[in-house]
Amino acid sequence: MRQFFGWLSLVVLMVFLVIGALFIMRPFGEPPSVMDDYIIDNAQEEAASNNVVAAVLFDYRGFDTLGEATVLFAAVTGALLVLRASHKKEET
């Protein structure tokens, strides 16, 4: 019973935060974003790419893409490490 009320209060709190935040958020696209306009106007010239999304991914925010690729790299390395054979190991 205590556990149930604990979970309930957690859910209520989260719903309050998330739904509350959604209600007082500004409408989508308002106010007009200076950053977006700059990128849309200049991507073809600066990054020489017709696909503005690709320009953002690899030019304007390329470092984030490098980071996300590294997240995947870490996940794969970690999965292979955890699933590795353990029988060759000796006592430490």
Partner 1 sequence: MSKIVRTVANQLILFVVIFGLYVIIQGHVTPGGGFQGGAIIASGAVLLIVASGSQEIKTWLRERRLSVVESSGALLFILLAFAGIGTVFFFNFLVGSRLFGGIPSVGPNPGDVWTGGVIPLMNLGVGLKVMAGLSAVVLALALFSGGEELEE
Partner 2 sequence: MSTLIAHSSILIIAVTLATAFLTPLVGIASKRARNTLIVLALAFVAFLVVALARDVMLNQIHVYTLGAAAPDLTIPGGAIVPVRIILEVDGLSAFMGIVIAIVSLVAVIYSMSALKTETGQNGFYTLLLLMAAGMFGMVFTGDLFNLFVFLEITSISGAALIAFRTKFADSQEGGFKYIVVSAVASLMILFAIGLLYSQYNLLNIGALAATMEYTMLDRIALVILMSAFVMKLGGVPLHMWLSDTYSVAPASIPALLIVASQASLYALLRTSFTLYGVTLDQSVAGWIIIIVGLLSMFVGVTMAILQTDITRLIAYNCVCESGFMLVGLGVGLAVLADPGALDAFGTMAMNGAVFHMINHALFEGLLFLVAGAIFYRIGTRDLNQMCGLGHTMKLTSVLFLLGALASAGIPPFNGFASKILIYESVYQFNPILTMIGILVSILTLAVFMKVFFSAFTGASLPRYRDVREVPRPMVAAMIVLAAGIIFFGLFPGLVLDWIVQPATDALVNQGAYIDAIMGAVP
CB of 89 to partner 1, least distance (A): 10
Interaction pattern, residues 26-65, with partner 2; x per rule: CB under 8 A: x----x-xxxx-xx-xx----------------xxxxxx-
Q: Which is nearer to partner 1, 39 or 47 (CB)?
A: 47
Q: Which is nearer to partner 1, 9 or 77 (CB)?
A: 77
Q: Does 76 bind partner 1 (CB under 8 A)?
A: yes
If you ran DSSP here, which 8-state letter would residue 51 be given? -
- Spatial separation of the C-alpha atoms in residues 70 and 88, rounded to whole Å: 29
- Return the exposure string of 40-72: e unless at least 16 CB atoms fall within 10 Å of the residue's CB, then b: eeebeeebebeebeebbbebbeeeeeeeeeeee
Candidates 30, 45, 90, 91; binder of partner 1 (CB under 8 A) is 45
Q: Does 34 bind partner 1 (CB under 8 A)?
A: no
Q: Cβ distance 56 to 39 under 8 Å?
A: yes
